[in-house]
Amino acid sequence: MKPLRILSYNTHVCIRATRSSERLKNLWKHVLPSRCKMENLRAISGLLRQFDVVGLQESDAGSLRSYFKNHTKFLAHHGGFDHWAEQVNRDLVFARHSIGFLSRYRILSISRHQLPSKIPGRGLMVVHLDVGGEPIAFAVAHLSLGSRDRIRQALAIGDIIHDLDCRAILMGDFNCTSQSDELWAISAKAGLKPAIRNMPTYPSWNPRRDIDHILVSEGISISRARTIDFPMSDHLPLAIEAVIHRRMDDAAHALCKAA
């Protein structure tokens, strides 16, 4: 099976950020519409065309600040993805905060989970795909800024993924580094391993912190991992190529154990 091209990207609601002062200058764009967001959406859709599966964070499901245009749907259409899903985590008049998922493979099922948080609005979306005959669950998450909330969320994610009856790939903005207790908790409870370690993605103009992550189950190996220098957000996109190894059937597995 050829490697699966996977991208995880916090799009920052398509607000361009190339330096710290620009982020402050553009604060108003988080609540009001701006034409440049549409230009940035088109640029991002061009990047996404290179990938088979994409997890999005800080998308907008269609609100005042996005001219009531659904960002995930727009990126799916202009990126050439036939299948997409989203989860709205915080629904306000001026902003509909969401996480999104784009796929070139047909989506078999979706489950959406609200994560524990002092301020509601954090979630996990799990999408099941059939990738060349192999059932794989893809999970997209965006964790809180506060460490106490993140620990609770990490434990909840670990339980959810542990209960899945298939291999899994978890991706998202975790707001914590590779050495954090949160990543350890998810790995330990869900049986996942980091696809990438110590690869800074934030801030995009001078990456110093590795707070975006992709974790994978046993039976999935990584042939390539990288960040992409793409200044359309305050995060850099995180990309991997994952090889899904076929499961042995029961007879072959028994022979291997006997040997």
Residue ranges per domain, the chain? 4-258
Amino acid 145: pLDDT: 96
- Name the one residue in this structure whose structure tokens are 């489950």: 111
| Strand residues in the chain grouped as ranges (E) | 4-10, 53-60, 83-91, 96-103, 107-114, 123-131, 134-142, 167-173, 193-194, 212-216, 220-227, 238-244
Amino acid 257: pLDDT: 36
SS3 203: coil
Q: How many other C-beta atoms can be found within 10 angstroms of the C-beta atom of residue 140?
A: 26
pTM exceeding 0.85: yes
| Domain 4-258, CATH | 3.60.10.10
Full pLDDT tens readout for the chain, 259 residues: 789 999 999 999 988 887 777 777 888 788 888 888 899 999 999 999 999 999 999 999 999 999 899 999 999 999 999 999 999 999 998 999 999 999 999 999 999 999 999 999 999 999 999 998 999 999 999 999 999 999 999 999 999 999 998 999 999 999 999 999 999 999 999 999 999 989 999 999 999 999 999 999 999 999 999 999 998 999 999 999 999 998 754 333 333 333 3
- Name the one residue in this structure whose structure tokens are 């230009």: 39
Amino acid 86: pLDDT: 98
d(CA 135, CA 169): 11
Strands in 53-60's sheet, in edge-to-edge order, are 83-91, 96-103, 53-60, 4-10, 238-244, 220-227
Measured in residues, the chain has a length of 259
Amino acid 252: pLDDT: 34
* Nearest 10 degrees: Cα torsion 223, 3, 175, 14: 130
d(CA 33, CA 24): 16
28, 95 contact by CB (below 8 A):
no
